[in-house]
Homo-oligomer: A and B are copies of this chain.
Amino acid sequence: MDDGADLVTELHKSKKNIEKIIGGTEETTTGVVRLRSMAREGVLMYPIIAVNDASTKHFFDNRYGTGQSTLDGIIRATNLLIAGRTFVVCGYGWCGRGIAMRAKGFGANVVICEVNPLYALEAVMDGYNVMKISEAAKVGDIFITATGDINVLRREHFALMKDGVILANSGHFNVEISLPDLDSLAISKKEIRENVEEYKLQNGKRLYLLGEGRLVNLACAEGHPASVMDMSFANQALCVEHLVRHAKELSPQVYGVPKDIDEQVARLKLASMGITIDKLTAEQAKYITSWEEGT
């Protein structure tokens, strides 16, 4: 079971005992992207189930879990009032939209930066201001990265920011905010509150970095709530069972979570919350998959 494809990468570099491994699972979006790349290049040596891609994982963990815990991390670190702040979210994937939704829910004026035109358009239709980072840099009070990529906030953006802005990351590792750029621009640096470092720039502005640019929900709060991780872990456990039973039939590719596992997890979760839902009648089940019926 991997988180970010680091273990897989390590194993594929060292090749130590790799022939004994029958399969693996991956928890994160970033990891899945890297594994798909390995599969495409033909270097992946065993099948992997992308647990991240389960509906009961990424729709919940990435959106609701990351959304709440990112706000939680920022608030614990700073005790700032979110209402009335211009809150810039870089990346409008599932994590980014969870964060945007919660920042809006706490009264922020949310700005979205995206490179994918489809996601950018959804952000527009969801009522957010959408602009380039170089524009957002001039107006934002709080910046949060959630892209899975590197150097999203960098020298050219820091130079444009207002005095007193907050910088935080909720993507992968500590590479989304360029720490080298921040260091090279700063004339001084000090911790002014636990998990809050003040960078004083040559232009006199002060930028505040949370949790050293690491995942702010882990660095400054308690990570995802248990009540969202339970579904990820249920998927992990059931996928490992599936691999034990079926790995021999699978080639070294990246697979989605079997639909019946995904639905089983959703049913268990609803039951645990005391919620009952409808079932299709026989007539409805027939109609929805039939092409001869219909007016």
Instruction: Give A residues with C-beta under 8 Å from B.
Output: 4-6, 9, 33-35, 37-38, 41, 43, 55-56, 59-60, 63-65, 67-68, 72, 75-76, 79-84, 101-102, 104-110, 113-118, 120-122, 124-133, 148-152, 162, 172-175, 221-222, 224-228, 262-263, 266-267, 269-270, 273-281, 283-284, 287-292, 294-295
Contacts and interface: CB of A to CB of B under 8 A. Distances in A.
Contacts of A273: 84, 124
Nearest to A130: B275
Nearest to A267: B117
B118 A294 contact: no
A96 B263 CA distance: 20
A225 B83 CA distance: 11
Contact of A173 (B64, B267, B295): B295
27 contacts: A4-B294, A37-B291, A38-B291, A56-B121, A59-B122, A60-B122, A63-B125, A64-B125, A68-B75, A68-B107, A72-B75, A79-B225, A83-B127, A102-B105, A102-B106, A105-B105, A109-B129, A110-B127, A115-B279, A117-B270, A117-B277, A118-B262, A120-B266, A132-B278, A149-B288, A151-B281, A174-B295
A283 B262 CA distance: 36
A280 B105 contact: no
A288 B150 CA distance: 8
A47 to B, nearest CB: 16
3 closest A-B pairs by beta carbon, nearest first, are A105-B105, A117-B266, A81-B225
A115 B278 contact: yes
Contacts of A174: 295
Contacts of A59: 118, 122
